[in-house]
Structure 1
């Protein structure tokens, strides 16, 4: 038996940065190691930090799949049941790799 904390990967639309932050906080206080998107591409973030290139977006998407690889399970933050295209790909990847998946809202 391992005493390693559970690793949870948060997935979801980056428009839900506040909800992801709340989930991250809750999981962290529960003793989990949390991996989550590191760059949030909301309009106000783009204005402050400049837009990203298509190549950077592709690299970020691939990096997030590696985060799923590291995780014991995936938590999809999906207020109102919303699952966008990128999150849908992440869910399909997690399913294909046998990761347990849970959602914050019914889908």
Structure 2
């Protein structure tokens, strides 16, 4: 008798989230220019009973953590990897903002390649619409 194929890590994660009865997890993507709008989206999504993941801070604002250009470049790379991990963990993506830049476009492409549903606060901004 043949064995069923091993489950993927994604399938195992989905099963674990179901067993834990976790609410849907939504990750907010978009330019940090729209941090105020991201905070508003966080309020709405949390109020609707979803777990929300989003960028933790805006590197456009001055801070000692990214005042050195070399450290800032390394931090940007780590944050990019962290955000992709948030996308993998999430059940869906909410793109915030009226404009989509290259980084957000790459996040949308990545999310869709994983089969994640992608919603937009401004549907006209969807690069694939």
Task: Answer with 1 or 2: which has the greater Rg.
Answer: 2
Work out which structure has the larger RCO, using CA pairs closer than 8 Å and 6 or more positions apart in sequence: 1
Paired residue for 1:100? 117
TM-score (norm 1): 0.88
Q: Residues 25-104 of structure 1 correspond to what in structure 2 (within 5 A)?
A: 25-42=43-60, 45-46=61-62, 49-50=63-64, 52=66, 53-79=72-98, 82-104=99-121
Give the Cα–Cα distance (whole angstroms) in 2 for the partners of residues 41 and 55 of structure 1. 12
Cα RMSD (Å): 1.5
After the TM superposition, which parts of structure 1 deviate over 4 Å for at least 4 consecutive aligned residues?
Answer: none
Number of aligned residue pairs:
101
Structure 2: any 5+ residue segments left out of the alignment?
1-17, 67-71
TM-score (norm 2): 0.74
Describe the superposition over 1:47-80 as per-residue Cα deviations: whole angstroms up to 9, x where unpaired. Answer: xx1362111101101100000001000000022x
Give the Cα–Cα distance (whole angstroms) in 1 for the partners of residues 42 and 93 of structure 2. 12
The answer to which structure has the higher strand fraction is 1
Structure 1: any 5+ residue segments left out of the alignment?
none
